Amino acid sequence: MNQPLGLRLEIFPTEKEMGDRAAAIVLACVAGKPDAVLGLATGSTPVGLYQRLIRTFENGKASFRQCLTFNLDEYFPVAADHDQSYHFFMHRQLFDHVDIPESSIHILNGSTNDPAAECAAYEAAIQSAGGIDLQVLGLGQNGHIAFNEPGTPFDSRTHLVQLDANTIQANSRFFGSQAAVPRKALTMGLATIMEAHSIVLLASGSAKANAIHAMFEGEVTPDLPASILQRHPDCTVLIDREAAAKLSDAAKERWQARVVS
Ligand code: GLP
């Protein structure tokens, strides 16, 4: 019997197995629908997934030629050619190595002088693409998804946000110093993300253990943005053992976690 949909949890021994599983989900989506609309994430966690997609493409076993992509977020203000912009990251980590046409790639413009118009146009573009078939998500240490920080309303659409001190600190490793991290970002909202037909969230390492614990064992609350995923009809959460370290056996049972040894 198939597992019921809803929020599902899979726990892997290491980040490697987690990445293999994430790649299998994305590749199955594209195999079933070659013109799939993919929502993509940045951060260090999905890098392994993107490497696997590149390898599969290079082996001639996948094509992204007909796909459309929408990235979750972008710093603001930031120039697209800044080496820490998400434009730069996505091209270096994925787009430069596969066959997706540049015109099919959508990333919020972090150097716009009209953030509200940019966000509205992004929402409209997602709608006119027919919505996102599969959204890849990472997880912030504070439970954020995309750049929706704690306190973001569940009905939020793509918008300009002020980054949390915790996020600035966590992301300063990429910028060399906290002072160099942009203070704002443009991000899909929680309602935008929840409209994706299916979602796969990846989290690895002990720094995510508290957020995973709160997401599966706490209330659904804007204080922990990722908790809203408890209400998604088809969301798979892939984590490694370190990220699972604070989950109780009762929670694993309640969510019928698939534990891979
Ligand atoms: C950033 C991104 C998020 C990402 C998070 C976690 O804040 N905006 O989308 O999920 O970082 O990043 P990492 O995977 O590097 O821990």
**pLDDT given for residue 213 in this prediction:** 98
**pLDDT given for residue 13 in this prediction:** 98
**Where are the alpha helices (H) located in the chain, listed in sequence order?**
15-32, 47-58, 86-93, 115-128, 165-175, 190-194, 209-217, 249-254
Buried b (16+ CB within 10 A) or exposed e, 197-207: bbbbbbbbbee
74 is catalytic: no
pLDDT tens across 143-200, in order? 999 999 999 999 999 999 999 999 999 999 999 999 999 999 999 999 999 999 999 9
Higher pLDDT, 2 or 195: 195
> HSE (CB half, 13 Å, CA atoms) of 161?
30
Mutate to test the pocket of ligand 1, among 139, 149, 159, 178 (most ligand atoms within 8 A of CB): 139
Q: Taking 80 as the threshold, does the pLDDT of residue 256 lie above it?
A: yes
pLDDT tens across 40-89, in order? 999 999 999 999 999 999 999 999 999 999 999 999 999 999 999 999 99
Terminal CA-CA length for the chain: 22
3-class secondary structure, 83: coil
Q: How far is the CA of 2 from the centre of ligand 1 (A)?
A: 31
Q: Is 148 in the pocket of ligand 1 (CB under 6 A)?
A: no
Q: Among 228, 150, 197, 200, which Cα is nearest to 41's?
A: 200
pLDDT band at 92; cut points 50, 70, 90: very high
pLDDT tens across 181-191, in order? 999 999 999 99
The overall average pLDDT reported for the chain is 97
Whole-model pTM: value is: 0.97
Under DSSP, the state recorded for 102 is G
118 is catalytic: no
**pLDDT given for residue 2 in this prediction:** 55
Q: Does residue 123 come out as left (phi exceeding 0), alpha (psi in the -120 to 50 range) or beta? A: alpha
Q: Taking 70 as the threshold, does the pLDDT of residue 4 lie above it?
A: no
Q: Are strands 184-187 and 73-76 parallel, antiparallel or unpaired?
A: antiparallel
**pLDDT given for residue 5 in this prediction:** 78
**pLDDT given for residue 3 in this prediction:** 56
pLDDT tens across 231-248, in order? 999 999 999 999 999 999
CA distance 243 to 206: 5
142 is catalytic: yes
Catalytic residue among 10, 73, 118, 240: 73
